[in-house]
Amino acid sequence: MRYLIISDIHGNLEAFEKILSKLNDVNADKIYCLGDIIGYGADPCECLTLAKKHFDCFLYGNHEYALFSPEYEEFFNPFAYAALEWTRGQLRKSDFDFIKSFSFMKIFDDFTLVHGSPKDPEEFYYIFSGYEADTAFRHCTTNICFIGHTHVPQLFTEGYVKGSYLEPGKFFLNRNKRYIINCGSVGQPRDGNPQTSYGIYDTVLKNVTINRISYPVHLTQEKIIKAGLPKILADRLIVGK
């Protein structure tokens, strides 16, 4: 089986459409989304519509969860909060109903999907360090766990102190080791590379491929500014921060 793994679209329609244009090349059996389809970007409804059409699995990201949990808003910085409030005003009833059907975590035979961490997935813990990954491994029942949330392509191997940054390319996995893998962000990369990012997991060849693609960032920026969203949400896209 080949799985297309994507996360953190964040209302960026141009980046999302660029990935969807590659579906024939990817030849994936299923497409799994690890959360945060919405937030920050100016096209939340359009991204949700496309996601519903193409994806086979949907997980809550913290931006979806915050729509229904006002107490979680305190964890948002002012720019993220402004985008959350704007997004809430854009969504249709059908969008809210759709999002309510999302799961916090999915566990399959040989891999787990979660937005933040398998440790209390509804808390959306970040995994940036080996220490945080070590905690997550103790709460994961499968050999491989795919995560999002940090917007940085990264791989953690159980027992190792540091994670590895994932450059574009193919990475072969040892069947006797356990991994936590972040395939990066579709709509708001934060690794200094503005290109949209996604991953392909091949269960037969036991490898993960990270792909990066350029998209018309300026169009996304123009939409964000025109919508009256904080300008920093547009500026950061061109530098991938």
3-state secondary structure of 146: strand
Question: What would you report as the CA-atom Rg of the chain, rounded to the nearest whole angstrom?
Answer: 17
The pLDDT assigned to 220 comes to 98
pTM for the full model? 0.97
The pLDDT assigned to 162 comes to 85
Helix or strand run (H / E) with residue 232: helix 232-239
Is the CATH code 3.60.21.10 the one for domain 2-239? Answer: yes
End-to-end CA distance of the chain: 33
> In the chain, what's the furthest Cα-to-Cα distance?
51
pLDDT digit of tens for each residue in the chain (241 aa)? Answer: 999 999 999 999 999 999 999 999 999 999 999 999 999 999 999 999 999 999 999 999 999 999 998 888 788 999 999 999 999 999 999 999 999 999 999 999 899 999 999 999 999 999 999 999 999 999 999 999 999 999 999 999 999 878 999 999 999 999 999 999 999 999 999 999 999 999 999 999 999 999 999 999 999 999 999 999 999 999 999 999 9
CA distance 196 to 131: 28
Q: What is the pLDDT of residues 217-229, one digit of tens each?
A: 999 999 999 999 9
The pLDDT assigned to 92 comes to 96
DSSP per-residue string spanning 160-215: -SS-EE--SEEEE--TTS-EEEE---SS---SS--SEEEEEEETTTTEEEEEEE--
Q: Check: CB of residue 210 under 8 Å from CB of residue 197.
A: yes
Helices 13-20 and 44-54 pack at an angle, to 10 degrees, of 20
